[in-house]
Amino acid sequence: MHVSRLSLADFRSYVDAVLAPGEGFVILTGDNGAGKTNLLEAVSLLVPGRGLRGASLSEMARHGGGGGFSVAARLDGIEIGTGTLAGAPDRRLVRINGAAAAANSLSEWLSVLWLTPAMDRLFADSASGRRRFLDRLVLALHPEHAGHSSRYEAAMRARNKLLSGDIEPDPDWLAALEARMAEHGFQVAHNRVRSVEALSDRISGQPDGPFARAGLLLVGWGPADSADDLAGALRSNRAQDRAAGRTLIGPHRTDLAVTHVGKNQPAALCSTGEQKALLIGLVLAHADLVAERTGRRPILLLDEIAAHLDPSRRDALFERLAAGGGQVWMTGTEPGLFAGAGENASRFEIGGGIVRKR
């Protein structure tokens, strides 16, 4: 599945813009600040979540615009639209083939994965960032994952609010919230375990190449054997959670530990270049896995991907991406960075809020 038409209105730096890219490489070039990443962000909103920047919806509306924004895409005969209205800047609206739909339902139609410069230090930064990265990988394999995650988080917020109050919370109400957390939290953990196992098997079966192989391990909170076990653990931990002011056990405490297999070294201790190579290798292997398991290759969004790769690694990346197939959006400041991407790439020049076909 690929985006054959993308249109924006009052989104970020764009009053309006329309692109009609092809199925393979989509290359966006222009100066820093020209709006290249804004286009990638628009594509990232075609799946559940807050997009590749993790921004609030109100931040996405163009300053000086009408207060809302819209992003619309055509994908193999499917029309997807999302955005906000001026009177409700933080309420996301979604339409699929003209009918209103829930944002979480977008994962049933396509998957989108991305790499941005902000992710270059993913392995050395917070566990929450790695969980978001992990859940994006999981979502591509298990479309229901977004719904389980959002329901678990909602129930946990309600439980935390009850436990932090001055009045002794109603035990029946707590039990109901814990049952809901357990139901969805168990599925969240189960999906993560299955995804990491599958991706690890895929990586281990690949030959060594220009991008480092990653070893993956879930650490932190250990998944419960059943939803009932998780509900029981939450019930037993009420006093500790109340004292801490937050829930101390559950899948929101999981972390993804990554190692550089070739060096037998934690990714956090590797150089920035090595960490980037690990990320690229991970995403490429995952795209292959998703295509194999679902028959639907993810759309890849690679922001400034070629800037810090030497020529041989750039060529190896383009070769690997071309062999995998699917639509790949890439940005860069210099057209020359993508000389090895082939003649069939869709190339656009970005500047002044205008998109021009090259």
Is 13 among the domain residues? yes
Is 56 among the domain residues? yes
Is 329 among the domain residues? yes
Spatial contact of 197 and 204, defined as CB atoms under 8 Å apart: no
Is 218 among the domain residues? no
Query: Could you tell me the pLDDT band of residue 215, with boundaries at 50, 70 and 90?
Result: very high
Quick: pLDDT tens for 317-330.
Answer: 999 999 889 999 99
H helix or E strand, kind and range, residue 356: strand 354-357
Is 150 among the domain residues? no
Quick: pLDDT tens for 53-110.
Answer: 999 999 999 998 888 999 999 998 899 999 999 989 999 999 999 999 999 999 888 8
- CATH code for the domain in which residue 52 is found: 3.40.50.300
Alpha carbon distance 220, 254 (integer Å):
5
| Angle made by CA atoms 151, 171, 237, in degrees to the nearest 5 | 70
Is 29 among the domain residues? yes
Burial 308-333 (b: 16+ CB within 10 A, else e): ebeeebbebbbebbbeeebbbbbbbe
Alpha carbon distance 281, 308 (integer Å):
15
Query: Edge-to-edge, what's the strand order for the sheet holding 214-220?
Result: 214-220, 254-260, 265-266
User: Residue 205 is encoded by which pair of tokens?
Assistant: 């079966």
Region 219-246: what's the mean pLDDT?
Answer: 94
Is 182 among the domain residues? no
- Given a cut of 90, whether residue 250 has pLDDT beyond it is yes
Range of the domain at 21: 1-110+298-358
- For position 35, what pLDDT does the model report? 94
- For position 145, what pLDDT does the model report? 95
Region 36-63: what's the mean pLDDT?
Answer: 95
pTM of the model: 0.90
Spatial contact of 65 and 10, defined as CB atoms under 8 Å apart: yes
Region 338-345: what's the mean pLDDT?
Answer: 89
Q: Work out the number of other CB atoms within 10 angstroms of the CB of residue 254.
A: 21
Is 345 among the domain residues? yes
Closest by CA position to 48, among listed 155, 199, 160, 151: 151
How many domains in the chain? 1
